[in-house]
Chain A
């Protein structure tokens, strides 16, 4: 085995690869058992790239060969090697006496979709750094490769900005304890990278921005009650030059802090009532010839923002409203589809987005924060991302999907059991062959995997009645 690179060394730690691994094999007539001991897994990576960041284009293929002669993991890139190591760790089993075994195996594997993400919301509830890092660990066990970090929103602004420190000082729940410092952010990005996970940072505007207001006076639109300000605020004010100067500076910081090519710029649920009430905005609308159509104003804002971000050499992902409201976006924009029924059923939305030539990410049926009684993992699992009307070219534009764990009712007390093993159903749907739809087969493996998660110290909740050999115990 070549010197073990930090990427790979980190992935090896929970895995007894250095212990002798007998491979049981039966000779024909004599029935004599011949144990072949494996004392190393040889890894061969074809293309260098250990110190790089994973990207949407990363090749995650690998093959795994375990037989008498060899114990060999071959991959194109280090990212594939990470995926292969996870699979390898899942193949090792123990007999009742305690002996570690691995069966003769031939695996050829690669993901169905390149973007397999998980969204966490750290604005509605602050999540301690440890919770985020732990989540990245379990994402790796499930071969998730994108951490969509919805950092800020109406409720709080925990991201520590160095160009606008007041954003955090005035916008966080508690600027001493409920923040992510620059160091914290670096830690997340590197921890993710070592697991082949991209960090897709989202700074959602112009809506969902109430917490930005206290730190940047004049940024948000003052709502009016008749001819007087009501005292409340609405979305970012698109009518002021200052707004775009601010966004320019702010997103320069964001572009430099987050290395992934893509940034998520939000653009969802913009409430027009406040804009409508504001006389300055009414005047602006008139000047621009937008009439009464506030979608045009929203368009104007977002287009300007997208141009700013493009100039920094970034690509972007936006929520579907940006597409629905006919904002003019660059052709390589990724549209994230999250609305189940409105304005159309999400399958129809997939059709519309891809027929317009945009790449799509599916999230609508995978809102894991929407809990219900019973084994809802089955519904999650049975979603077929490409089950919409469209040509093969259109279907090719679906680059993957994301399970979303919005934070209104979630924090570190219930995040882990609510995420796992349910998110595992999304993980398989995005990685594995589309033919894999047998629920009994899935149940057997997912139930076993849940017990394995427990063994690895993950507080994953039960799928249904039953038990694991070692149950979870609070430390």
Chain B
């Protein structure tokens, strides 16, 4: 009950009662959560601190591979000390699925041994849970003895997650909202089923909207470095005519354009991102007469990473991982909090 000051008490006697004017942060947050259209933030901080990349070899496993991105709701009763148990359970699960004959597809090795390990160093703050790396291997009889071949690999992480959300989770839950998967789709489905059954979570597809791809293009143009020699490639698609338009930009030119727009050292605003894209659009229009503003951006590729709107990601550079992962984590949290729309599930 709000306590009334003397003036308010006087008004109350007249039959008017003013509630406490300042809404507490919790109330305000829940009100915002239930308005139908949420907007993403207009400014985003450029990560200044590099991730404590502890094991360079471990992180190197993540690079140069095409990862398929999925969304995971918080895991119930996931414990880092039981990783061996999880490995055994998942191996058993895959073996039973194979026996059931679920996935008979010619030529695809399903593997029979799973290994869970902790990927330390892939977190930005103390509140982030440690990342988890999963590998599924198959024993193949090579020339001498038995060789283990990695059939499927995946990892889950949470980098610089939304602190207030992580705080509000009950103790039994761990939030690792991003799942990266590389390997046959059938194995991904099996791993996803096992995760959903064991930890009572929900795994869904993670499409990336064109708007977020433009943010990525701007953010990655921002951290150009001399060691990176890959051209910046952008791809637009025009569904009605089945046309795909791709544009390659030299990274130095992209950086020069971005530098002329970007002013504040610490953050990127949406106006800068929009100006960056509209300059590319008008350049293209002047030369080719095609209005890119009417098309949809589907693929962005720079020397740091490449992202496709279907939720496919490739990381190229170990040093600049901290420019990619926090943004993806933010998008994942946005989906959990504001748009719990059930995207097409993994199975």
Please say whether chains A and B are actual partners in one complex.
Answer: no
Interface, chain B (partner A; CB < 8 A): none
